[in-house]
Homo-oligomer: A and B are copies of this chain.
Amino acid sequence: MKNIFAEKMTPFRMIIGAYVFSMLLFSLLLWLPISHQPGHELTYIEALFTSVSAVSVTGLTVIQVSDTLSAVGIAFLALAMQVGGIGIMSLGTFVWMVFGRKINLSQRLLIMVDQNQYKFSGMVKLMRNILLLALGIEAMGMLILGTYFLRYFDSTWEAYYQGGFAALSAFTNAGFDVTGQSLIPFAEDYYVLFVVITLIFAGAIGFPVLMEVREYLTNRERFNFSLFTKVTTTTYFLVFVLGAVSIWALEFGFYYDGMAWHQQFFFSMFNSATTRSAGLSVMDVSAFSMPTLLLMSGLMVIGASPSSVGGGIRTTTLAVMFLTIRSFALGRSDVKVFNRQIDPEDKQRTFIVISFFIVGLLAAITLISAFERGNTEVELIDIIFETSSAFGTCGLSTGLTDDFSTPSHLLLMCLMFIGRVGILVFLFSVKKKETKSHYRYPIERIIIG
């Protein structure tokens, strides 16, 4: 018996199993009466949706957290976000290290994963490092925001509670809030926005990048950043800037009409950062016009770095896609960037991630629009926005998540789950053992496109 279990239990299936287990566990905990405020109840579907959303650090919600959950419930929620955020970073990083041994990450990272004994001891070391780094950043965020929040809240406890939750929510990119209205109360406080954007970056830029930066800071002379770090950081910030400029261009004269330039500047920056894929908001997102909501859906689909708390197709996927098109148009057969060549295997993965994501997203949008056919509240743009938000595990919403019907909620949960686990891990988990074929078929060309 044990043998069959061990044989079937690939690392990928273990990851899937860990997520399923956490989601079910927290759904039960959030379902307990002790987790609710007096007079409020949750259906199991609501508890499950909240749990899936928290563990996948998405932040879509069908309940008003601050009105519905008790202190205990909020503690469970925070724990779910923490488990989700840190689990993702460590499991994600671990998988890719074991998996693509040739990824030239920093020496310190590689040492953690001993060549032959990575199964347990390396995992523990890695987890400890990630945990320390994450808790350190969160504690710093809590200290900075909490202390600053003393001017907003009456009690010291309340200020640090709000600051801590905001820091946790920003760094894990979970996007939940206990203010009842996300960051809207601080919309015009640029100091808060700046700190929150920084925390979002720290979570979304990817754990390997943080480790490399730390190593670089201690040893500037002999350090080379990996290709991964260069590609993902460049892409992340390039899309961030393009996103901010595009949001500004689309809303100039519309939502931004009559707003001071510095507020336009900070709103564009914040909205560009939060769509990738934090999910916190400083305004009612549905106040943006349709082209902006479409653009933001696209940004949510792009998402953050791999091995980070963010979702989406991820930065490197987008980068390899554009680099491949460019090198094709330039008549080159190989794809080059930063004096390196992209591995054909990584091109193949890029292709699969993009195809799978696009097909899944379009199918989900069509299905939800069928489920919500009789629902006059919900428009197509809401469905597109909500679906992109779930699949990209972003959590921004035009405010209609709880107006959707149960079939749509179930579908959104599936999207958050797959979006979180990652498409490749999902595919690897269903993957059979590599089949050695006895013979190769002849290659025959066909006409494409």
A271 adjacent to chain B (CB < 8 Å): no
A interface secondary structure, majority: helix
Interface size class of A (residues with CB under 8 A): 35 or more
Asked if A29 is an interface residue, CB under 8 A from chain B, the answer is no
How many chain copies does the complex carry? Answer: 2
One of A66-74, A99-107, A112-120, A167-175 contacting the partner: A99-107
- CB-contacts of A409-439 with B (<8 A): 422-424, 427, 430-435, 437
CB–CB B100/A447 < 8 A: yes
Q: Are B102 and A445 in contact (CB under 8 A)?
A: yes
| Partner of A444 from B208, B227, B381, B434 at Cβ < 8 Å | B227
| Closest chain B CB from A422 CB (angstroms) | 6
The residue that A317 contacts in the complex, of B226, B445, B448, with Cβ under 8 A, is B448
User: Is A328 engaged at the interface, CB distance under 8 Å to the other chain?
Assistant: yes
| Contact of B449 with A306 in the complex, beta carbons under 8 Å | yes
How far does the Cβ of A375 sit from chain B's closest Cβ, in whole Å?
11
Are B295 and A340 interface neighbours, CB within 8 A?
Answer: no
A321 at the interface (CB under 8 A from B): yes
Minimum C-beta distance from A47 to chain B (A): 29
Q: Measured between C-beta atoms, what is the minimum distance from A50 to chain B in Å?
A: 26
Tell me the bound Cα distance from A298 to B366 in angstroms: 10
B435 with A332: CB separation less than 8 A: yes
The answer to whether B341 and A291 have CB atoms under 8 Å apart is no
Q: Which residues of B lie under 8 Å from residue A343 when comparing CB positions?
A: 443-446
Which one, A132-140, A153-161, A349-357, is touching chain B?
A349-357
Q: What residues of chain B lie closer than 8 Å to A321, measured between beta carbons?
A: 351, 355
Q: Is the CB of B306 within 8 A of A431?
A: no
- Given known contacts A365-B294, A441-B340, A354 and B352 CB-to-CB distance under 8 angstroms: no
Residues of chain B contacted by A441 (CB below 8 angstroms):
334, 336, 339-341
In the bound complex, CA of A331 to CA of B429 (Å): 11
- A30 part of interface (Cβ distance < 8 Å): no
Q: Are B358 and A227 in touch, CB under 8 angstroms? A: no
B434 engages A331 (CB within 8 Å): yes
Q: Is A345 an interface residue (CB 8 A)?
A: yes
Q: Does A316 contact B (CB under 8 A)?
A: yes
A446 CA to B104 CA, complexed, in Å: 8
Contacts of A358 in B (CB 8 A): 354, 358
Spell out A's residues near B (CB within 8 Å): 96, 100, 102-104, 208, 226-228, 231-232, 250, 254, 289-291, 294-295, 298, 306-307, 313-314, 316-317, 320-321, 324-325, 328-332, 334, 336, 339-356, 358, 362, 365-367, 369-370, 373, 379-381, 384, 422-424, 427, 430-435, 437, 440-449
Apart from A226-B444, A330-B435, 11 more pairs, CB < 8 Å: A100-B447, A226-B446, A291-B366, A324-B351, A341-B440, A341-B444, A343-B444, A344-B344, A346-B445, A349-B449, A350-B448
> Can you report 8 residue pairs joining A to B where beta carbons are below 8 Å apart?
A250-B370, A316-B447, A328-B348, A330-B432, A336-B441, A339-B441, A340-B442, A341-B441
